[in-house]
């Protein structure tokens, strides 16, 4: 299938790119997953992209745990946990994305992360236990295609955690990735970017939000090359000022 990433991605930047649709669990090699493209920048000439079919959009109660297809979106999963009085994914009420992308980057807010609820993942058709997935801050050791997950069932939806995470929502109105950079140890990417004069700064048709410096936004008609240049500029300024090498949270497919 063809996907126009200027319409499909959350940042609304990209072109018309061929994407393979995966219908069954199998050991696919060399594919780069698109998901819902919420924290993704795709080059116009990007190759080997893939997306899961609707076969992987489901939630099944297995008794001791839940089995969830990796195409299931964050809000559907959050609503299931809330409606069934389950804890662990309260923070998803404030996040976009599909399960596959959420687990691969170990998405989270504050101290709450996907790794806290994952029992195992089906990767390339084989189940891998959580302890072997290499979860870290906004990262994992996952290699291959995530098709489905087994998630913990723990009673007691935590309304206070949900409210806490909702208070952190400050997404700009213009198309955005969400967070552009990971927070470095003991500091915040937004603070560093603001300190070097990048809050509200623009380069061509993209820029950093005046609301939160770590949100890279499309000001209208933004291009892939402009984003790459702005990210490079931000990393250079922060490193020159603080000696800190910022790491992208956004995934870039060249």
Among 18, 26, 99, 27, smallest CA distance to 56 is for 99
Known active-site residue 138 = yes
Q: Beta 251-253 vs 40-42: how paired, if at all?
A: parallel
Among 165, 179, 212, smallest CA distance to 11 is for 179
Residue by residue, DSSP assigns 68-106 as EETT-BHHHHHHHHHHTTB-S-GGGGG--SBHHHHHHTT
CA R_g for the chain: 18
Known active-site residue 9 = no
DSSP conformational letter for 248: B
DSSP conformational letter for 240: H
Token couple for 73: 């979106």
DSSP conformational letter for 204: T
Out of 179, 209, 226, 248, which one is annotated catalytic? 179
Distance CA 211, CA 123 (A): 38
Distance CA 206, CA 213 (A): 13
Known active-site residue 225 = no
Out of 138, 176, 209, 226, which one is annotated catalytic? 138
Out of 113, 116, 226, 249, which one is annotated catalytic? 249
Residues tagged active-site: 138, 179, 249
């Amino acid at each position: 299938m063809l996907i126009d990433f200027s319409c499909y991605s959350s940042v609304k930047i990209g072109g018309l790119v061929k994407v393979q649709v995966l219908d069954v669990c199998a050991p696919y090699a060399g594919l780069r997953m698109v998901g819902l493209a919420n924290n993704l920048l795709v080059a116009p000439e990007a190759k080997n992209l893939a997306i899961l079919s609707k076969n992987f959009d489901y939630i099944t109660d297995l008794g001791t745990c839940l089995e969830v297809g990796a195409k299931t979106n964050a809000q559907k999963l959050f609503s299931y946990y809330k409606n069934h009085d389950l804890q662990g994914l309260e923070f998803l009420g404030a996040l976009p994305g599909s399960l596959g992308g959420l687990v691969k980057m170990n998405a989270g807010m504050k101290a709450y992360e996907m790794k806290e609820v994952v029992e195992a993942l089906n990767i390339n058709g084989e189940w891998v236990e959580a302890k072997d997935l290499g979860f870290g801050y906004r990262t994992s050791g996952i290699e291959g295609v995530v098709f489905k997950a087994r998630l913990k069932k723990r009673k007691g939806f935590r309304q206070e955690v949900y409210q806490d995470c909702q208070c952190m929502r400050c997404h700009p109105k213009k198309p955005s990735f969400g967070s552009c950079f990971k927070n470095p140890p003991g500091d915040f990417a937004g603070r560093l970017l603001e300190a070097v004069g990048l809050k509200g700064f623009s380069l061509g048709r993209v820029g950093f939000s005046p609301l939160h410096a770590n949100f890279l936004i499309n000001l209208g008609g933004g291009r892939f090359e402009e984003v790459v240049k702005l990210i490079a500029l931000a990393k250079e300024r922060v490193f020159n000022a603080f000696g800190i090498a910022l790491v992208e949270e956004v995934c870039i497919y060249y």
